[in-house]
């Protein structure tokens, strides 16, 4: 069975599209996913960008909102909403996702992205994240308390460094077991093909 | 029948991929293409970029060369070669394409892109462009002479201004009759779907 590391940032619009369809397309392709939230902000900063490229180049940003509206519609998702401010601060959501057991991460991640891009809610708000955790049956206070622990903060930092070390510069990104990197929701299928063909060679 | 304006720059790597498959996919979709070469350089400059984003962000550039190698292979094209220097100066090729009759533009455009990205040749060289014109049965000296005429230069400048006015910021770009903009080789199929659905409403 093929394996793909799915790298995503909770502030990333195209990560939203990839995450919402990830389990379905991976199951159809018989590929296992490792869900790896990370922070794009420090990577953008290391390339000299203080915010999203969509803010730095407004004409590209405006196009992207329209592109996202169209893609959400094609994918059968609710009307795409841009959170204000954009990009959202995704630190709390990422730490929470890392704090959860692996098996709980996909469902929680979808809930966060839905709140952000289908409901326009502020995912940096502890109340919002706590509400999502509770709805999914987690001990919200317990999980949120863990996000403040140093070991947990370090774990997310290490993940972000691992992403950068693999050449990741955007999200979503997909990495197969041989280190092949695919960037963007548009490359999800190519990454699946690659992972499947690797698995066949074994 | 649907119609799409296909905007491309001869220096653009992903324009190469789109142009090489354009006639085939458009025919299959029953959509007519208007081939509109333009210059991305002045548009990048107006956004504060003095060269290709692939040069400004080297980690993104390195990824893109690999992505292009993979995509060329998927599309059945020869091994992708990056011209040196990159990006090539595409002014002469664009003026030549504009100087040719509409019906001759697709074939000439494919020949230029093949020379550039499959053979690594310098498309800013008059000898290279002249050779391609001759091979395709054109009067190379006559066409090249036309590229020096002021009216021809103005025509290309007007096209580039029209591209910018439509919100185009990259290449390839696709614009349907209602002004809907799609950016990138990855959106070609979406533009075709859009054009077809517009044609049905008429």
Confidence band (pLDDT; 50, 70, 90) for B109?
very high
Alpha carbons A183 and A68: distance in angstroms, whole number: 16
pLDDT at B100: 98
Contact yes or no for A190 and B70 at CB 8 A: yes
B85 touches A at CB < 8 Å: no
B125 CA to chain A: closest CA distance, Å? 32
Greatest C-alpha distance within chain B: 48
A90 CA to chain B: closest CA distance, Å? 23
Mutate which of A183, A192, A193, A195 to disrupt the B interface (most B C-beta within 10 Å)? A183
Residues on chain A touching B47 (C-beta within 8 angstroms): 57, 59
**Considering only residues 116 to 175 of chain B, which have any Cβ-Cβ distance to chain A shorter than 8 Å?**
167, 169-170
Contact yes or no for B63 and A183 at CB 8 A: yes
Residue B146 scores a pLDDT above 90: yes
Residues on chain B touching A67 (C-beta within 8 angstroms): 182-183, 187
pLDDT (tens digit per residue) in B21-42: 999 999 999 999 999 999 999 9
Q: Are B188 and B29 contacting, i.e. CB atoms less than 8 angstroms apart? A: no
Percent of chain B with pLDDT over 90: 86
State which residue of chain B sits closest to A43, comparing Cα positions: B59
pLDDT (tens digit per residue) in B43-76: 988 888 888 878 878 888 899 999 999 999 999 9
* Pick from B63, B170, B190: CB nearest A167: B63
Query: Mean pLDDT across the stretch B143-166?
Result: 97
pTM of this structure: 0.94
ipTM passes above 0.85:
yes
**Considering only residues 13 to 32 of chain B, which have any Cβ-Cβ distance to chain A shorter than 8 Å?**
none
Alpha carbons B13 and B62: distance in angstroms, whole number: 13
Contact yes or no for A57 and B181 at CB 8 A: no
pLDDT per residue rounded down to tens, chain A (202 residues): 899 999 999 999 999 999 999 999 999 999 999 999 999 999 988 888 888 877 878 888 899 999 999 999 999 999 999 988 889 999 999 999 999 999 999 999 999 999 999 999 999 999 999 999 999 999 999 999 999 999 999 999 999 999 999 999 999 999 999 999 999 999 999 999 999 999 998 8
Residues on chain B touching A60 (C-beta within 8 angstroms): 169-170
State which residue of chain B sits closest to A44, comparing Cα positions: B57
Query: Mean pLDDT across the stretch B145-153?
Result: 97
B61 touches A at CB < 8 Å: no
Q: Are B192 and B2 contacting, i.e. CB atoms less than 8 angstroms apart? A: yes
Confidence band (pLDDT; 50, 70, 90) for B102?
very high
Contact yes or no for B47 and A57 at CB 8 A: yes
Q: Are A83 and A50 contacting, i.e. CB atoms less than 8 angstroms apart? A: no
Confidence band (pLDDT; 50, 70, 90) for B202?
confident
Alpha carbons A33 and A3: distance in angstroms, whole number: 6
Length reported for chain B: 202
Alpha carbons A121 and A200: distance in angstroms, whole number: 43
């Amino acid at each position: 069975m093929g394996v793909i590391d799915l790298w995503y940032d909770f502030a990333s619009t195209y990560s939203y599209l990839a995450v919402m369809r990830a389990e379905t397309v991976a199951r159809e392709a018989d590929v296992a996913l490792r869900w790896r939230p990370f922070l794009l902000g420090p990577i953008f900063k290391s390339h000299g960008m203080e915010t999203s490229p969509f803010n730095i180049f407004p004409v590209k940003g405006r196009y992207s909102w329209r592109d996202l509206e169209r893609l959400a519609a094609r994918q059968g998702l609710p009307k795409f909403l841009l959170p204000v401010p954009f990009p959202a601060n995704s630190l709390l959501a990422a730490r929470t996702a890392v704090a959860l057991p692996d098996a709980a991460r996909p469902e929680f991640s979808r809930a966060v992205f839905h709140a952000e891009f289908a409901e326009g809610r502020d995912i940096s708000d502890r109340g919002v994240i706590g509400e999502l955790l509770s709805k999914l049956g987690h001990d919200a206070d317990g999980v949120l308390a863990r996000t403040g622990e140093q070991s947990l903060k370090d774990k997310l930092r290490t993940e972000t460094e691992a992403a950068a070390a693999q050449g990741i510069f955007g999200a979503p990104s997909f990495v197969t077991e041989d280190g092949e990197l695919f960037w963007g929701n548009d490359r999800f299928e190519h990454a699946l093909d690659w992972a499947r063909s690797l698995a066949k060679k074994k």
